[in-house]
Structure 1
Amino acid sequence: MKKFTNESMYEIIDYMEEKLKIDDLLSIEVLNPDLGINNYAGEIVDLDEEYTYHSYKAWNDLAELMFCKLLTPLKVSEYTVNLKFKKINRSDSFHKTINSSDNEKYGEESIFFRINKNEEPAFLYYYKQALANVKIQTRNSVLNLGINKADEFQTIKDGLDEDEFLKKDFVGIDFCPSAIEFAKNRFPTNNFSFFTHDINKLDELNLKKFDLIISIGTLQSSSLNFKEAFMSLIQNYLDENGSIILGFPNCRWIDTEIIYGAKAPNYSFSEQSILYKDVYFCKKYLQQKKFRVTLTGKNYLFLTATSIKK
C-alpha cells in the first residue's frame, strides 16, 4: 500500500493509471479527509507531517474517472485512512450487449431493466426539479415515450397525493413487450394506458394531444430520426399550452456504476459534441415556438420547456 502525504493530484493520477494497468485492486494511504473539512483541495494540513488535502468527494470522483469503485475507507493511523479502488468490469454494460433489432433488448431479462434511475441522486434530484418547473400538479394528461418499467411515473406518484394522482391520465409507450407488461402491473388503475409500439409510428395509435410529454434517453435512439421525431412531438402531440421534459443521457452504465460523460461512436473516451448539438437544436426550436426553456442536470441533462404563448 503506497502512502501519499504532500504529493499533488497530478502525481496520484499518474501512479493510479500505471498501477491499474496491471492490478484490479489498488490501495493507498492518505490523509483522513475528516481532518481537513474546512480546507480546499490542495491546501496543506500540517499534522505529524505535511499532507495535501483531498475530500472524499474528490476521491470518489477520481474512482469514477479511473473506472473504479471506491470501497469503504479503513482507518490506518491517527491521521490517515486506507482507500481501496476496485477496477470495474468495463465489458459488463448493457451498451455492449444489446441487439438493436431485438424488441427485448431493454426487457425484463436485460441488464438495463435492473437499473433504477430513481435511486441515483444525480438523476432523481434534477428530474424532481424538472417536474416542479412544469408545475406537474397542473398537468392533467401525460405522455411518456420509452417508458420501460415506468420509473418516471413512480416519481410523479411519489410527489402527489393519491386523489391528485388518480385524476391525471397517463400514457406510456415502449417497443418492449415485457417492459410494458411490468408497467401495466405496476400501475393497474384506469387512468393509465400502456402501448407496445414503435415510436416511429405514433400516428397509428391515434393519440390525442397532451399537456406534458416526457422522454428520458429515448429520442437519441439510433432507430429514430432525432430531429424529425422531436418536431413531430411538438407539432402533433403537445397541447398548445403544454410542457415537455427531455432527458439527454450524459453517462454510461458499466458494471452497476453510473459513469459520467456521453460516449460517442468511434471515440474511446467521453465526447459530448453530439449531445450538445441535439440539446441546442431542441432549445432553439422550442424558443422559436414561444417556450421558456431551462437546462439542468449532470449525468442526465434535463431540458424543460413550458409554453409562454398566453
Structure 2
Amino acid sequence: MMRFKLETSKQIVETLQRQLSKEGRTTFEILSPDIGTYYSGSMVEVEGEKYCYRSLKSWLDLSNILHCKMHLPQALPPYFAKLTFEALSLEDSFHHLHDAYEKYGVESSFAKINKSGEFAFEYYYHEALKAIDFDSIKRIINLGINRGDEFVAIQERISAKQFDAIEFVGVDYSVSAIEYATRVFANHSNVQFFVQDIGKLDASLGRFDLLITIATLQSVDSNFKKLFMDLVQQLLTQEASIIMGFPNSRWINGELIYGARVPHSKGSDLSTLIKDIYFCKKYLQQHRYRVKIFGKEYIFLIATKI
C-alpha cells in the first residue's frame, strides 16, 4: 500500500487525483497525526526515517479540496495511520435541479440538508444571534425560511416568554416547505408563514425590527443590489438589525464542500460573493449601521444601528 513520506503537497495532490480518477476511491498510509504536536510540514524522524508531518485537519482539508469524503482513519500503531478518500458524486446535488418552485421543497434533495447539523453553519449563526437584543425586537422576518430552522434556533436561544412576545414571519416560494414550517410551529400563534416571491413582497407584511436571510437573495432572479436596497428601505424599521448569510460552499453528495461557485466557472470563484458582501457592507455603513462579517462555509453579515 502507498505510504507518503517526504512528498510535497503538490505531489500528494497529483498522486491522489490520478488514483481517484481511475477508481473513485483511494487508500494510503501516512505518519499518524497523533504522533505529537507539530506544525504541518515539519520533519519527524521515525525508526531512522524522516517523514513530513501533516495534521488530521490538513488531510481533512485535502479531502474537501478533492471533493471527497474522508472515512474514519485507521490507526496503524505505533507511528502510522491509514486514510481512505472516496470521490463524491458531483451530480448528487440540489444545485442541479431546475424546478424553480419546488427545488427547495420537502421532497427535494435540498430537504435532506439540515444546516443545524453542521457546526460550520450553526456555530456562526448563533454567534450572529448573540448580537441581537431580542428584548427590543417586536417583529422578525426571514426571507427564504424553508422549513423554519432559523426560527427553531432562535427558540432555543431565548426564553419562551421572549419568543412568544415576538411576531415571526417566514416567507418562501416553496409551497411544500411553507406547509412543513407551519406544522412545526402549529402551536405558536405568533409565528406565521407565507408563500411569496421575495422579489415581489406584499406591502401588507409591514415593517420589521430584524431581517434574517440565509443564502437566499443571491438565488433570486433579480438585480441583487436593487433588491437589497429595496428590502432595507421598504421592509425595515428605523432601528432594525440584519443577519445575512452568504453561501461560500456547496452541498454535494451529503457533504458541505467549501468554496462558492458562479455559473459557467470551473472550481471555486469568490468574486461574486466578495462583490455582494462589499456592496451590502458599504451601503449599510452609509446608513449608519455597524457591520460585522465572519464565517467560513457560510459568510455572515450582521448589521446593527449605531
TM-score, normalised by the number of residues in structure 2: 0.96
- Identify the range of structure 1 (280-289 vs 45-54) with the bigger mean alpha-carbon deviation: 45-54
Kindly report which structure 2 residues correspond to 1:62-141, keeping only aligned pairs within 5 A, or say none: 62-100=62-100, 103-141=101-139
Report the residue type matching 1:198 in the other structure.
Answer: D
Kindly report which structure 2 residues correspond to 1:127-276, keeping only aligned pairs within 5 A, or say none: 127-188=125-186, 189-202=188-201, 204-276=202-274
Query: For residues 146-173 of structure 1, what are the alpha-carbon distances to aligned partners after superposition, in whole Å with 9 as ceiling and x for unaligned?
Result: 1000111111111112111111110000
Do 2:289 and 2:303's aligned partners in 1 also have CA atoms closer than 8 Å? yes
Alpha-carbon separation, structure 2, partners of 1:147 and 1:205: 18
What is the CA distance between 1:205 and its match in structure 2? 4.7
Report the residue type matching 1:46 in the other structure.
Answer: E
Consecutive unaligned residues in structure 1, runs of 5 or more: none
What is the CA distance between 1:140 and its match in structure 2? 2.4
Alpha-carbon separation, structure 2, partners of 1:95 and 1:216: 16
SS at 2:291 equivalent: strand
Alpha-carbon separation, structure 2, partners of 1:225 and 1:218: 13
- Identify the range of structure 1 (23-32 vs 220-229) with the bigger mean alpha-carbon deviation: 220-229
Do 2:134 and 2:162's aligned partners in 1 also have CA atoms closer than 8 Å? no
Do 1:134 and 1:305's aligned partners in 2 also have CA atoms closer than 8 Å? no
SS at 2:205 equivalent: coil
Closer, same or farther: CA 27–298 of 1 in aligned 2, 3 Å:
same
Alpha-carbon separation, structure 1, partners of 2:165 and 2:125: 22
What is the CA distance between 1:224 and its match in structure 2? 2.4
Q: How many residues align?
A: 304
Runs of 4+ in 1 over 4 A off after TM superposition: none
Alpha-carbon separation, structure 2, partners of 1:140 and 1:3: 60
2:14 aligned residue: 14
Do 1:137 and 1:164's aligned partners in 2 also have CA atoms closer than 8 Å? yes
Do 1:137 and 1:160's aligned partners in 2 also have CA atoms closer than 8 Å? no
When the two chains are superposed, the root-mean-square deviation of aligned CA atoms in Å is 1.2
Do 2:140 and 2:169's aligned partners in 1 also have CA atoms closer than 8 Å? yes
Alpha-carbon separation, structure 2, partners of 1:42 and 1:92: 34
Alpha-carbon separation, structure 2, partners of 1:287 and 1:205: 26
